[in-house]
Amino acid sequence: MIDIHCHVLPEVDDGPKSWELSEQMCQMSKADGIEHIVATPHANHRYPYDRAKLSGIVESLQGRVGDLPRLSLGCDFHLSYENITDALAHPDRYVIGSSRYLLVELSNYSVPPQIS
């Protein structure tokens, strides 16, 4: 089982407030059969997305929890003009791991007509 949307990184946006809570989340996920967690911190105007910094946090957390669950970095990509412009300029910045996939969060109020 793969969890592709998890706010698991400690002290990042609205995720766990400590490393201990983050480790407990990973242990509980492992006990539930999750073998891979994609850490998805927000990428929006309120929570700037710094992939280099966040990659370091993912590596540190992986070292603390061991081999399972395996952790990789993605983001909760908020669909906005600014984010789309930046993603087009830096296509590897927001993707899940080293893939070409992106987890997109649409507006809470409406779905753009271009989304099918």
User: What is the pLDDT tens value at each position of the chain, 116 positions in all?
Assistant: 999 999 999 999 999 999 999 999 999 999 999 999 999 999 999 999 999 999 999 999 999 999 999 999 999 999 889 999 999 999 999 999 999 999 999 877 777 666 66
User: Going by C-beta distance under 8 Å and a sequence separation of 6 or more, which residues neighbour residue 93?
Assistant: 49, 51, 86, 87
Can you give the pLDDT at residue 85? 95
Question: CATH says 2-105 is which class?
Answer: alpha beta
What span, in angstroms and rounded, lies between the C-alpha atoms of 112 and 116?
9
Can you give the pLDDT at residue 113? 67
Question: What's the predicted TM-score (pTM) here?
Answer: 0.90
